[in-house]
Structure 1
Amino acid sequence: MYCLQWLLPVLLIPKPINADLFHYAFLILHLLSFFLEKKPCTICSIIFLTAVCLICYSCWDSCIFWSCRS
């Protein structure tokens, strides 16, 4: 679970008010490069992807990839 400590801060990055394409592209490229370079274990990857899916699905406006307006 050592690799999970490098993934969890990504969920805590505050989303800017005017989130533009560069913010989303930076996060996606950061995650992609992390997964290619560090090669986290399967359990950590599943835990992180589940947390991202739950946060984005709950629509608390804290999703790091898109803003959820109801």
Structure 2
Amino acid sequence: MYCLQWLIPVLLIPKPLNPALLHNHAMFLVLYLTGFFLERKPCTICSIVFIAAVFLVCYNCVGNCIFWGCPDEACTDSLCSNVGL
């Protein structure tokens, strides 16, 4: 589980506010993760835990997904009130 200390902070990197920079942000994260997986070769358990965490964060569609933004219509009333939208 040592390799998770380099993967979990990736989920905490904030997305840029400028929509024009979202593509650059996503490409940076894809290249970072590709380089990490090729260089460090994390164990299977760490890889599965990280992929599950990314899936859950992106599936919730709260706006914290590291690869893409969620459409506005996916935000329900209860979810939007919790986020402050």
TM-score, length of structure 2 as denominator length: 0.79
- State yes or no: 1:13 paired with 2:13: yes
Kindly provide the amino acid, as one letter, of the partner of residue 38 in structure 1: R
Structure 2 equivalent of residue 65 of structure 1: 67
Provide the alpha-carbon RMSD of the alignment. 0.8
> Which portions of structure 1, spanning 4 or more consecutive aligned residues, are displaced by more than 2 angstroms?
none
Which has the larger share of helix?
Answer: 2
Kindly provide the amino acid, as one letter, of the partner of residue 20 in structure 1: L
Q: 1:34 aligns with which of 19, 33, 36?
A: 36
Structure 2 residues without counterparts, runs of 5 or longer: 75-85
Q: Which has the larger radius of gyration?
A: 2
Q: 2:27 aligns with which of 25, 36, 46?
A: 25
How far does residue 20 in structure 1 lie from its aligned partner after superposition? Answer: 2.7
Structure 1 residues without counterparts, runs of 5 or longer: none
